[in-house]
Amino acid sequence: MDEETKQKYLEAGKIASEALAFAKKKLKPGIPLLELADSVEAKIIEQGGGIAFPINLSLNNVAAHDTPAPGDARTLGEHDLLKVDVGVQVDGYIADCAFSYSADPSHAKLIEASKAGLDAAIAAIRPGAVSREAGKAISDAIAKRGYNPVVNLCGHSLDQYTVHAGQEVPNVPHGSYVFKEGDVFAVEPFATTGEGIVRDHAECQIFRVAEGKSRLAQSRLLVKNAEKYNGLPFCRRWLARDFPSTPYDLAISDLVRCGGLEDYYPLAEKTGELVSQAENTLLVTADGCIPTVKLPA
C-alpha cells in the first residue's frame, strides 16, 4: 500500500470516528430512527466524506443490513439493543465500523462480548497469521463471556469502492487466508444469546447495482441514477429523495429479478434472540494491525 492510499484510509477512519461519536450523542430512547439515519449521513458529508453504504440501524434480534425505510416511524425503545453500522469512503477507500447501544443496563454484558471479540481479533491479526486464528480468538472471547458468536456473518476485506472484496474473517475458527502487510479488513464480531445463525428478515431496503440488464425505461433510469454511487450500496430512502414523485418499487423488483440489482436483506437471529456487534477497519502493518476508527466508549 502506498502512502497516499494509506492516508485516505486513515482520513475515512477519522471521519467515521466523528460520525460514530455524533451518533452516540444523539442516542436516547424515543429518537426516531429515520432522524438518526439522515443526521449521521449528513454529518459524514459535512465533514467531506462520502457514504460507503446506507447507515445500518439494526434493532434487537436483527444483526445487520437494516436501514430506515422512507417515512419509517420506528423509534428507539428504552429496552432496545441497537447496532449502529457506518461506512465512510474517501476516493473509494473505506472505513466500515459499528458499535452497539442500549439504555437498558441488562444488555451491557452482551455488548461487551462483541467488543471483546473485536479486541481479540485486533491482537491476533498480523502478517503470517491465518484467518481461522482470528476467528478462534473472536469465538473464544465471546464464549468466555457466556454468549455465542454469529457463525454465518463475518468480517471482510476492503478495496477501493468495494465493501466486500473477497476475503473473510470468520467469527469462528474457520478459513485459510494468510494475512499480509497492506491488507485492509473490516472485522465485525457479532455476539448473541441465541444459536448464532442469521437469516433474511423483513423487507429489503439496501441494494447494489449488478450485471443484469433491463429493457424497462424506469429501471434504466434507476441504474443511471445509481452510477453516482460507483458500485457502492444505496437504499430506498435515498431513492425517495432522488425521485420524490416517481414510483420506483416496480423498477427495483424488475432489476432484482433480472440480476440488475443485488439485494441486502436485513439479517435476523433465527431464534429471535438479541445480537450485539462491534466493528473496526484494520490496516495490516509489518508487525500487527492498525484500527482506523475510534469507536465510542
Point out the residues that are catalytic: 85, 96, 156, 164, 188, 279
Count CA atoms closer than 13 A to 227's CA, side-chain side. Answer: 6
232's grid cell: 457502492
DSSP at 106: G
Between CA 167 and CA 229 the distance in angstroms is 23
167's grid cell: 476475503
40's grid cell: 449521521
SS3 266: coil
Amino acid making up residue 230: N
Between CA 135 and CA 120 the distance in angstroms is 9
Q: What is the largest CA-CA distance in the chain?
A: 55
For residue 254, the tally of other CB atoms under 10 A from its CB is 18
**Of residues 26, 20, 56, 36, the one with CA closest to residue 268:** 56
Grid cell 414510483 in the structure block, residue:
247
